[in-house]
């Protein structure tokens, strides 16, 4: 039987988690909660997507549900997660995609309605919530963990790359820059943004320097790299797909050719299947739209200054790749929980 999943928040990630679930026979979304979207509008937003194109399937709306490829998905409009009757639809694993409930304490409200586990689709705002990145530390999940975080899209790109490089050569220290596509928190034209003045500038007209905790978060999922990586972001006027630039000092001298060989072997291994990719083609960002992998190593974009000082580049669809990893984590959790 497919894993029964509920989605709280039908924004970019919520909708794409749903789309990804339709193509995944191991997962079935049985309920969606969003207090700001009615079923008719929900069906429309699922059917059409500016970046990923039309939904390949049938979608229709009912009074309190949407019907996708003949399967009914219950729709709720509760402001408080404790009010969502997840148990009525059999939803046990909840993708918490609102961006609002980002601590274990807040997510515990889902258990009132019958949910068993919650995956936050963002970095948690507390220190209690375990954070996982598929392929990196997901095997540390244990069945007593009820609320977990799937980290950020950027950490899902950086951590696999950092782990492969660190395991082979050792990372002494490093700096990361992500050139990141526009997201919903940005402004279409200049507007108020008290905490981040630059972030309030028009997204379509600017390259915007921004902070990111993605590099420091690698130290959480790879403890031996704690304090060895930090980073920043540049928000750019593209709709989707971002790229990580990881510049590191290595402990073991090597060549760029050997690094390429290491990354190619990783991409072809069972451990990193569906996570790490490898390309030697002259690619650009749009070539990775709707790519489910989260860290695609660009072998011809990296450079080397000395035998221990290198710049490495990896692409990721910050929407689709991440959404697929949310479901991969839920699948893994369900396997562990069933033991």
Q: Which residues are catalytic?
A: 153
Question: Is 201 annotated as a binding-site member?
Answer: no
Number of neighbours of residue 257 by Cβ within 10 angstroms = 10
Question: Is 121 annotated as a binding-site member?
Answer: yes
Contacts from 56-61 at CB under 8 Å and sequence distance 24+?
A: 57/22
Question: Is 13 annotated as a binding-site member?
Answer: yes
Question: Is 212 annotated as a binding-site member?
Answer: yes
Measured CA to CA, the distance from residue 252 to residue 168 in angstroms comes to: 8
Query: Which tokens belong to 242?
Result: 């971002």
Question: Is 238 annotated as a binding-site member?
Answer: no
Question: Is 213 annotated as a binding-site member?
Answer: yes
Measured CA to CA, the distance from residue 131 to residue 137 in angstroms comes to: 9
Beta bridge partners of 297: 278, 314
Residue 140 contacts residue 242 (beta carbons within 8 Å): no
> What are the C-alpha distances in Å from 197 to residues 177, 210, 235, 238, 311?
20, 10, 13, 20, 30
Cα–Cα nearest to 179, from 160, 207, 205: 207
> What are the C-alpha distances in Å from 186 to residues 12, 153, 183, 198, 280?
14, 17, 6, 10, 33
Question: Is 318 annotated as a binding-site member?
Answer: yes
Question: Is 113 annotated as a binding-site member?
Answer: no
Question: Is 154 annotated as a binding-site member?
Answer: yes
Cα–Cα nearest to 47, from 55, 38, 58: 55
Question: Is 150 annotated as a binding-site member?
Answer: no
DSSP string, 208-254: EEEE--HHHHHHHHSGGGTTTEEEEEEEES-SS-EEEEEEEEESS--
Question: Is 90 annotated as a binding-site member?
Answer: no
Query: Binding site: which residues?
Result: 12-13, 34, 121, 152-154, 183, 212-213, 235, 318
Query: Binding site for D-glyceraldehyde 3-phosphate: which residues?
Result: 152-154, 183, 212-213, 235
Query: Binding site for NAD(+): which residues?
Result: 12-13, 34, 121, 318
């Amino acid at each position: 039987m497919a894993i029964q999943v509920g989605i709280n928040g039908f924004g970019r990630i919520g909708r794409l988690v749903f789309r990804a679930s339709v193509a995944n026979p191991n997962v079935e979304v049985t309920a969606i909660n969003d207090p700001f979207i009615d079923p008719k509008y929900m069906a429309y937003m699922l059917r059409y997507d500016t970046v990923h194109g039309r939904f390949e399937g049938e979608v229709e709306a009912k009074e309190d549900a949407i019907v996708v490829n003949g399967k009914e998905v219950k729709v709720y409009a509760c402001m408080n997660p404790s009010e969502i009757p997840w148990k009525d639809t059999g939803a046990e694993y909840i993708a918490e995609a609102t961006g609002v409930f980002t601590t274990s304490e807040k997510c515990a409200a889902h258990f009132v309605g019958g949910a068993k586990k919650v995956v936050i689709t963002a970095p948690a705002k507390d220190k209690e919530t375990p954070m996982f990145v598929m392929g990196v530390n997901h095997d540390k999940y244990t069945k007593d963990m009820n609320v977990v975080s799937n980290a950020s899209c950027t950490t899902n790109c950086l951590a696999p790359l950092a782990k492969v490089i660190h395991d082979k050569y050792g990372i002494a220290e490093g700096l990361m820059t992500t050139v990141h596509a526009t997201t919903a928190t940005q402004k279409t034209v200049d507007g108020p943004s008290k905490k981040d003045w630059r972030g309030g500038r028009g997204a379509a007209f600017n390259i915007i320097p921004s902070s990111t905790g993605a590099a420091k978060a690698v130290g959480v999922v790879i403890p031996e790299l704690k304090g060895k990586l930090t980073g920043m972001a540049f928000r750019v006027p593209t709709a989707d797909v971002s790229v990580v630039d990881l510049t590191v000092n290595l402990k073991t001298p090597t060549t760029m050719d050997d690094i390429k060989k290491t990354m190619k072997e990783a991409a072809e291994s069972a451990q990193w299947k569906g996570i790490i990719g490898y390309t030697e083609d002259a690619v650009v960002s749009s070539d990775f739209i709707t790519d489910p992998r989260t860290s695609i190593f660009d072998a011809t974009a990296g450079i080397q200054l000395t035998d221990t000082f290198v710049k490495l580049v990896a692409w990721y669809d910050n929407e689709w790749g991440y959404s697929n990893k949310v479901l991969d984590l839920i699948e893994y959790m369900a396997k562990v929980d069933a033991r």
